[in-house]
């Protein structure tokens, strides 16, 4: 074979090799794709949250907004104040119900039943005071504050605060709640139980004419919450996602 023929064969072989590599890469065979789409999808899971929005009467057709550490959903309550939402999210979640001038708040540390009532609004005020802020600050900072997220995801912290709120309402207003677990106990407006508790609190002045917690009730729980702060975890700082971290070690504290 002549030198010229060898040169031509080498040139053709090199060209075929380059073309093959280009074709392989174009078909995605290189394995170096970014894959960014699947990464974000796997970070959330489907959750279902349901409950009742009420003040002693149903918040009929209220707008229910659920904002989680990652993921959000908005639904409308039915005529009885009942709502249900299923969506992809990372817990915990802040929940609000808006009906006319009435705005109430709640929170969810897992999937399940989470009511939205003046009692749950007081619960958030208590937790906010434990964290060194107020309810508005807790809501505004929730998306970026790791300690806020970790506390609301810590079932022990939330249920301890719930017990303190129930105790405070009993001491100040003389209402012993028939449903002290008012956050997660399903109920029907107009039936004995949680709804009767709300009607009793309304009659005693703990709930104002708009269906929101009375200012004196808010002051009561804020003072008690501030007296029992939740310790800051060494790993909590603003800007964290707080998706699965354990909450602070809050002290159990009723009203003094």
Tens-place pLDDT, residues 82-99: 999 999 999 999 999 999
Asked if 183 contacts 116 with a C-beta cutoff of 8 angstroms, the reply is: no
pLDDT on residue 233: 61
Return the SS3 of 93: strand
User: Which position has the token pair 């709300």?
Assistant: 198
Residues 6 or more apart from 236 whose CB is under 8 A from it?
Answer: 146, 147, 150, 242, 245, 248
| Distance separating alpha carbons of residues 244 and 29, to the nearest angstrom | 36
In the predicted model, is pLDDT for residue 190 greater than 60?
yes
Enter the tokens of residue 28: 């995605």
- Taken in order 27, 28, 29, 30, the sign of the CA dihedral is positive
CATH of the domain at 154: 2.60.40.1120
Looking at the domain assignment, is residue 158 inside a domain? yes
Full residue range of the structural domain in which residue 194 is found = 45-226
In the predicted model, is pLDDT for residue 179 greater than 60?
yes
| Distance separating alpha carbons of residues 100 and 103, to the nearest angstrom | 8
pLDDT on residue 182: 98
Give me the number of domains the chain comprises: 1
């Amino acid at each position: 074979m002549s030198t010229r023929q060898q040169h031509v064969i080498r040139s053709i072989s090199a060209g075929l090799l380059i073309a093959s590599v280009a074709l392989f890469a174009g078909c995605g065979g290189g394995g170096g794709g970014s894959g960014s789409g699947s990464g974000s999808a796997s970070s959330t899971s489907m959750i279902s949250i349901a409950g009742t929005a009420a003040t002693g009467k149903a918040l009929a057709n209220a707008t229910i907004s659920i904002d989680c550490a990652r993921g959000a959903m908005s639904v409308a309550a039915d005529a009885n104040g009942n709502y249900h939402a299923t969506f992809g999210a990372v817990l915990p979640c802040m929940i609000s119900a808006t009906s006319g001038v009435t705005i109430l708040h709640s929170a969810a540390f897992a999937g399940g039943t989470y009511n939205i009532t003046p009692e749950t609004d007081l619960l958030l005020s208590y937790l906010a005071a434990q964290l060194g802020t107020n309810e508005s600050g807790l809501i505004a900072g929730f998306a970026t504050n790791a300690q806020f997220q970790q506390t609301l995801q810590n079932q022990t912290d939330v249920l301890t605060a719930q017990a303190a709120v129930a105790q405070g309402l009993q001491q100040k207003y003389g209402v012993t709640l028939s449903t002290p677990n008012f956050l997660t106990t399903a109920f029907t407006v107009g039936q004995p139980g949680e709804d009767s508790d709300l009607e009793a609190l309304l009659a005693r002045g703990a709930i104002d004419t708009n269906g929101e917690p009375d200012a004196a009730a808010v002051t009561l729980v804020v003072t008690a919450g501030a007296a029992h702060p939740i310790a800051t975890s060494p790993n909590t700082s603003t800007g964290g996602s707080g998706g699965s971290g354990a909450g602070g070690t809050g002290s159990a504290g009723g009203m003094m």
